[in-house]
Structure 1
Amino acid sequence: MTTYVLTAIGDDRPGLVAALAAAVDEHGGSWVDSQLALLAGKFAGIVQVELPDEHAPSFLDALPSLSEQVGLDVVASAGAGGDDEATGRSLQLHLLGQDRTGMVREVTTALTSQGATIDGLRSWTREAPEGGGMLFEAEAEVRLAGGADEDGIRDALEQIAAELMVDLELDSLE
């Protein structure tokens, strides 16, 4: 079996996921994992698939036709193989505060400085109650490097939260 990670983007319309799933199925593949989203009228997705080795070349040759057929641009990258399982503790991060530039950069820099990896991140903005401007909210699943200190992550994030004037919560997923 050959593993591929597919990235797909196109103008949103019905049938995009069905067309991609059909291409995988028609080549004897399995849809293993995915994250799909709609942002600003664009459909975007990342999908892990496995295909029999003998069908992988024809599958790759078929991907450009999805752009012509349904307007979905798909890029395939060979999977790295190996173990995808987290090696350190997993934490759930939640951030809420007044929207301003640089928030994601500062938080992710603090996480990186402590050797943490972001396994998932979702962020959005929304109107604050009673005309209080825009709020920025984010949720992330963070994995600590083996042997990393959870207190170090907390300290780094609490310093950022004070500087950004945001509410920041960090909870263990275990």
Structure 2
Amino acid sequence: MQQQYVITFAGADRTGLVETLADLVKVHGGDWQRSELARLDGAFAGAILVHLSTEGFTTLKCAIEDTGTADLVVQITPSVSQPQLEPNLHLSLTGPNRPGIVYEITHELAELEVNILHFTSRVESAAWSGEPLFMAHIEAYAPAHLEVDALRERLDVIEDKMTLEIDIESR
């Protein structure tokens, strides 16, 4: 029986890491369907959605454990089927970097039952001052009952408190 599984991994970045995982998936009869992979500083991490038979899952799991090294952590778990959510809310944040920005924003979104679908962030040097500048982009799914004005009011408080610029686009 075919099923979807999610492989998550993190470890020291090195040439051939993705190829090794792709080979393991292929050898065990898996179909690599979707992935999000990224280099973060000296580490490489990701999540891969694969279609695989039950037998393939068992042998792939053993092969991953056998191939594992001290600097690579890999997990494979059955995918939980849920309805597909399309982003209907996009947020862009920019401001001086400081601890707590991600918590403040994600806390408000969770309170309003907004589901984060994709989140990216980085810190760069501001062009005009060289100071650390925090930037983030969030794609989310907001429930139909959420008024964008209510979200805007709550995020305005964070904007003022943390000296951020938060742009909201709803669809």
TM-score (norm 1): 0.89
Q: Which amino acid aligns with 1:157?
A: L
**How far apart, in 2, do the equivalents of 1:130 and 1:153 lie?**
31
Q: Which amino acid aligns with 2:78?
A: A
C-alpha RMSD of matched pairs (Å): 1.8
Following TM superposition, where does structure 1 have runs of at least 4 consecutive aligned residues deviating by more than 4 angstroms? Answer: none
Q: Which amino acid aligns with 2:96?
A: Q
Q: In structure 2, what is the equivalent of residue 42 of structure 1?
A: 43
Give the 3-state SS of the residue equivalent to 2:68 in structure 1: helix
Whether 1:78 aligns to 2:78 is: yes
Q: Residues 125-164 of structure 1: matches in 2 within 5 Å?
A: 125-164=123-162
Q: In structure 1, what is the equivalent of residue 100 of structure 2?
A: 102
**How far apart, in 2, do the equivalents of 1:18 and 1:10 lie?**
14
Q: In structure 2, what is the equivalent of residue 2 of structure 1?
A: 3
Q: Which amino acid aligns with 1:153?
A: L
Sequence identity, in percent?
A: 31
Identify which range, 159-168 or 12-21, moves more after superposition: 159-168
From the superposition, tell whether residues 130 and 151 of structure 1 become closer, same or farther in structure 2 (CA, over 3 Å).
closer
Q: Which amino acid aligns with 2:85?
A: A
Identify which range, 143-152 or 109-118, moves more after superposition: 143-152
Structure 2: 5+ residue stretches without partners: none
Contact 1:144 1:150 in 2 (8 A): no
Give the 3-state SS of the residue equivalent to 2:76 in structure 1: strand
Q: Residues 46-65 of structure 1: matches in 2 within 5 Å?
A: 46-65=47-66
Alpha-carbon shift at residue 158 of structure 1 (Å) = 2.0
Q: Which amino acid aligns with 2:76?
A: A
Q: In structure 1, what is the equivalent of residue 12 of structure 2?
A: 11
**How far apart, in 2, do the equivalents of 1:94 and 1:82 lie?**
27
**How far apart, in 2, do the equivalents of 1:153 and 1:110 lie?**
8
Alpha-carbon shift at residue 131 of structure 1 (Å) = 2.9
TM-score (norm 2): 0.91
Structure 1: 5+ residue stretches without partners: none
**How far apart, in 1, do the equivalents of 2:128 and 2:167 lie?**
24
Q: Which amino acid aligns with 1:169?
A: D
Give the 3-state SS of the residue equivalent to 1:77 in structure 2: strand
**How far apart, in 2, do the equivalents of 1:65 and 1:53 lie?**
19
Contact 1:29 1:51 in 2 (8 A): yes
**How far apart, in 2, do the equivalents of 1:132 and 1:55 lie?**
51
Alpha-carbon shift at residue 124 of structure 1 (Å) = 0.5
Alpha-carbon shift at residue 73 of structure 1 (Å) = 2.5
Contact 1:94 1:169 in 2 (8 A): yes
Q: In structure 2, what is the equivalent of residue 29 of structure 1?
A: 30
**How many aligned residue pairs are there?**
170
Give the 3-state SS of the residue equivalent to 1:129 in structure 2: coil
